[in-house]
Structure 1
Amino acid sequence: MKEISTATITEEVARLCIEAACDLPVDVEKLIQEATDKEESEFGKYAMEKVCKNVKIARETNVPMCQDTGMVIVFAEIGQEVHITGGSFEDAVNAGVAKGYIDGYLRKSTVIDPVLNRKNAGDNTPAIIYARLVPGDELSITIMPKGAGSENMSQLKMLKPAQGLEGIKQFVIDSVVNAGGNPCPPTIVGVGIGGNADKAMQLSKEALRREAGAPNPNPEYAKLEQELLEAINKSGVGPQGFGGRTTALAVHIETYPTHIATMPVGVTLNCHAARHKHVVL
């Protein structure tokens, strides 16, 4: 049995929040640079060059790459042989988010009630936490700050099974193209297929955790990802919606078994600042 203190969890989450805001993962940066080199549109290339410059400045000066430092999504895999000491795991995570956003001078964007009292919480809590038990004695935490510009473009559709593959393709393509420049393209497109309505949307978030551009291990879904990416990039929306050949950097699909009478599909877009950081304790 491994013991991990809530104090350690809080410190690590705080560190990850600051790093995620200021240091774009190299896998995402690589795709952005490749897209910049290939871009043929004058306005599109201009936008991509500015994105590349912004990523570099943020990393070198340790300042956020975007003013919207997001609502924090936390994915946690908790080993069954882990004993968390000193209090609640959820409280420790939220204390870490608060510390990271206050110490890092990151914009606080959460409100305490979605409708009746939209007063700012002041510390960017609570986080949205997806936690699951797994075998082993490790605690894995991934922090993914998600800005509202891209989050507002999320879509869910309960397709009929008879609509099949073509129905899925059309829905995903329409979701990205109709979003236009709102999610700050080029985006990474997360697609969740299966489960029920909430599971499909969760899967679409999980898809954004994958190494940027890494294919689905199932070759048929990997093929579908590539087909969708090509179709989306033929739309002409382009970087920041200015037109061009790169509307999306990657399409990631995750699936789950579902009911015989339904075929839920969720789409979540991540802006070009596809921020995430990871630690294993």
Structure 2
Amino acid sequence: MQTPDPARINSALADATFQAYRDAVIGLPPDVLRVIEKAAAAETNPVARGEFANILKNIEVAERLGVPLCQDTGVPVVYLTIPPEVPLTQGLYDAVAEGVRRATRDVPLRPNVVDPLTRHNTGDNTGAGMPAIHVRPGVRFTVTVLPKGAGAENSSRIAMLLPSHVYGIEGFVVETMLYAEGKPCPPVFLGIGIGGTFDLAASLAKEALLLPVDTMTGFEQQICDSVNKLGIGPMGQGGDTTALAVKVKTAGCHTASLPVAVNVQCWANRHATREVQW
């Protein structure tokens, strides 16, 4: 087995983080693009069809010019999968932060990350606790970047329902979008986390946004259909499509609890993965 060289690993991870962030803000994953194109073709509302045309043009121009899809390039949410031969050290976290700093400077990205109380901005999208890094074991060494903009994130909600309210999950999701209206730049993708604990439900909801969106279970489709009955439509201007897809992740929870979180994502469900070549 190859003896790990920490400096080489950290350098490769910084490079991969930079590349994944750049990829994520400029282009959309193929499954996300397919869902948007399908909804655009099926839309019957004239105003909504115009909004879809703008969205598709936005996507085309960003890719052709190599510039971000949206001026809000988000806060960095990062997922690492680490194989057994790679030691988990502070150096990995530092390498991810370095990749984010490079992306902020070279893509470039808008410096969005500020201290929650003083509002001090480091200017490079790093700071105390940022980027948010989630680590898990894996066969391959990969880094996934999910940039999260504020418009959609601010519309997200969590609730601690009673176990007897399991049939109220759908209503809570629909209510979340009723309150959100056009603020999260619909049509949206909805990540739903069910179970676990208060914090785990929110984490599951965000991770659900990484699942393939061009297929849904019956439960997910039912929630999606109910959200679309609201008629909020693209950019809140009315139309057939308010939610492009709903994705659900679950975890076991206490017998007396039913945590439910809704992580709202705008039409630009941006994320990208790079393998770390060390």
- Report TM bin, short chain: over 0.9
- Per-residue CA deviations over 1:180-201 (Å, capped at 9, x if unaligned) read 1111011110000000000000
Measured on the aligned residues, the alpha-carbon RMSD in Å equals: 1.4
Query: Offset of 1:84 from its aligned partner?
Result: 6.3
2:119 is aligned with what amino acid?
R
Match of 1:230 among 205, 225, 231: 225
Taking the aligned partners of 1:20 and 1:193, their CA distance within structure 2 comes to: 26
C-alpha contact 1:14 1:100 (8 A) present in aligned 2: yes
1:186 is aligned with what amino acid?
P
Taking the aligned partners of 1:89 and 1:123, their CA distance within structure 2 comes to: 18
C-alpha contact 2:16 2:275 (8 A) present in aligned 1: no
What does residue range 69-108 of structure 1 map to in structure 2 within 5 Å? 69-83=73-87, 88-108=91-111
C-alpha contact 2:193 2:261 (8 A) present in aligned 1: yes
Tell me which residue corresponds to 1:139. 141
Closer, same or farther: CA 161–46 of 1 in aligned 2, 3 Å? same
TM-score by length of structure 1 reads: 0.92
Tell me which residue corresponds to 2:188. 187
5+ long unaligned stretches in structure 2: none
- Per-residue CA deviations over 1:252-276 (Å, capped at 9, x if unaligned) read 0000000000000000011001100
Match of 2:113 among 110, 114, 119: 110
C-alpha contact 1:207 1:252 (8 A) present in aligned 2: yes
- Per-residue CA deviations over 1:154-173 (Å, capped at 9, x if unaligned) read 10000000112x21111011
Tell me which residue corresponds to 1:20. 24
Taking the aligned partners of 2:73 and 2:14, their CA distance within structure 1 comes to: 19
- Is 2:264 aligned against 1:269? yes
1:248 is aligned with what amino acid?
A
Tell me which residue corresponds to 1:155. 157
SS at match of 2:252: strand
2:185 is aligned with what amino acid?
C
Tell me which residue corresponds to 1:206. 207
Identity of aligned residues (%): 38
- Following TM superposition, the consecutive aligned residue runs of length 4 or more in structure 1 with deviations greater than 4 angstroms are none
Query: Offset of 1:142 from its aligned partner?
Result: 0.8
SS at match of 1:246: coil
SS at match of 1:267: strand
- Per-residue CA deviations over 1:56-96 (Å, capped at 9, x if unaligned) read 000000011100000010011212222468x6110000100
C-alpha contact 1:184 1:240 (8 A) present in aligned 2: yes
TM-score by length of structure 2 reads: 0.93
Tell me which residue corresponds to 1:278. 273
- Is 2:243 aligned against 1:248? yes
Q: How many residues are aligned here?
A: 269
Tell me which protein shows more strand as a share of its residues. 1
- Is 2:259 aligned against 1:258? no
Taking the aligned partners of 2:150 and 2:17, their CA distance within structure 1 comes to: 21
C-alpha contact 2:111 2:125 (8 A) present in aligned 1: yes
